[in-house]
Amino acid sequence: MIEIEHLNKTFTARSGVHHALSDINLRIEDGDVFGIIGQSGAGKSTLVRCINMLEQPTSGTVRIDGADITGYRGRQLLGLRSRIGMIFQNFSLFQQRTVLNNVTFPLELSREGRGGKNATREGREARAKELLELVGLADHADRYPSELSGGQQQRVAIARALANEPSIMLCDEATSALDTRTTVSILNLLRDINKNLGVTMVLITHSLAVARMVCNRIAVIDEGRIVEEGSTEQVFSNPQSAVTRELLHFDSLTQVQADEERAGN
């Protein structure tokens, strides 16, 4: 469970103080697929980066399974991060490593696991192969990321994020760089991982369609504030904030456009 209370984040630049997050309160239950939606610059990435402390909150608390992580430093912080998987909009795969060795990367880091099965190269590669199997890329193990399509690259990134058996996975616009069909297949994969492995997903998107497909709960964020939160059905059937309605409207527009395109063909 992730509990965020009175979270604030300000950035101090030459131009002045910028409130990226203002008094955020959220509760993400185990097994949730939690969508965080908002316009560009709303603070989505900043919020999610506070969950694995890539961003140090200015004030407030973030608790994971009851433990306040905002004070974590050094080894404790690295340990926390190793238990939270993350995937990114542009995949962020290591270009000079094979697909297999991208997946072994998190396993090479582990400090406590020295004596375990991840201590040897064979052990790590065996585990990586299992994961590639899971994402359907077992036969691409020896390729390099530059030889793969965007969708395949994101699958590799998902396998890599799962390497340390995380209980939480953070997805920052994981499908924004992909076409519709690939987006659907990646979302299906994430949903399967959530169902079968019980991984809690925190999913950033600016597309309500994406959120609708996989999320059971949604929070809408605007200018650093949560303007709406609830179950997916609730938010879609009875949107409370103007921002949500705007997003919904835009979404229906693109839906109409997509329908028209399909009809035209």
Partner 1 sequence: MEVLADFFAQYGDLLLQEAWNTILMTVISTFFAYVIGLPLGVALVVTSPKGLRPHRVVNAILGWIVNIGRSFPFIILLVVIIPFTRLLVGTSLGVAGAIVPLTVSAAPFVGRMVEQSLSEVDAGLIEAAQSFGASTWQIVWKVYLREGVSSLIRGVSIAYITIFGYAAMAGAVGAGGLGDLAIRYGYQRYIGSVMVAAVVICIIWVQLFQSIGDYAARKIDKRR
Ligand X SMILES: Nc1ncnc2c1ncn2[C@@H]1O[C@H](COP(=O)(O)OP(=O)(O)OP(=O)(O)O)[C@@H](O)[C@H]1O
| Secondary-structure percent of the chain, ordered helix, strand, coil, rounded to 5 | 45, 25, 30
Instruction: Kindly tell me which residue out of 32, 34, 45, 187 binds Mg ion, with binding defined by CB under 5 A.
Output: 45
Q: Smallest distance from the beta carbon of 52 to partner 1, in angstroms?
A: 6
Helix (H, G, I), strand (E, B) or coil at 155: helix
For partner 1, which is the closer residue by CB, 54 or 209? 54
Task: Kindly state the greatest CA–CA separation across the chain.
Answer: 61
For partner 1, which is the closer residue by CB, 12 or 95? 95
Per rule CB under 6 A, is residue 135 in the interface with ligand X? no
Contacts of 102 (CB under 8 A, 6+ apart): 93, 94, 145, 156, 157, 159, 160
For ligand X, which is the closer residue by CB, 22 or 240? 22
Residue 40 interacts, among ligand X, Mg ion, partner 1, none and using kind-specific CB cut-offs from 5 to 8 Å, with: ligand X
Instruction: Kindly tell me which residue out of 61, 92, 216, 240 binds partner 1, with binding defined by CB under 8 A.
Output: 92
Write the single-letter amino acid at 22.
Answer: S
Per rule CB under 8 A, is residue 207 in the interface with partner 1? no
Q: Rounded CA gap, 45 and 252, in Å?
A: 25
Helix axes 150-162, 99-109, angle to 10 degrees: 20
The binding track of 33-62 with respect to partner 1, each residue x by CB under 8 A or -, is: -------------------x-x--------
The binding track of 36-65 with respect to ligand X, each residue x by CB under 6 A or -, is: --x-xxxxxxx-------------------
Q: Is 206 within 8 Å of 40 (Cβ atoms)? A: yes
Residues facing residue 18 across a β-bridge? 11
Per rule CB under 8 A, is residue 147 in the interface with partner 1? yes
The binding track of 159-188 with respect to partner 1, each residue x by CB under 8 A or -, is: -x--xx-----x------------------
Residue 124 interacts, among partner 1, ligand X, Mg ion, none and using kind-specific CB cut-offs from 5 to 8 Å, with: none
- The DSSP annotation for 227-264 comes to EEEEEHHHHHHS--SHHHHHHHHHHHHHHHHHHHHHHH
Side-chain half-sphere exposure of 95, counting CA atoms within 13 A = 2
Stretch that binds partner 1, among 13-21, 127-135, 158-166, 238-246 (CB under 8 A): 158-166
Which structure tokens are listed for 121? 């190269």
Per rule CB under 6 A, is residue 13 in the interface with ligand X? yes
Q: Rounded CA gap, 30 and 33, in Å?
A: 9
Stretch that binds partner 1, among 27-35, 72-80, 208-216, 253-261 (CB under 8 A): 72-80
Nearest Cα to 159, choosing from 99, 219, 94, 113?
99
**If binding means CB under 8 A, how many residues of this protein chain bind partner 1?**
31
User: What residue ranges bind Mg ion (CB under 5 A)?
Assistant: 45
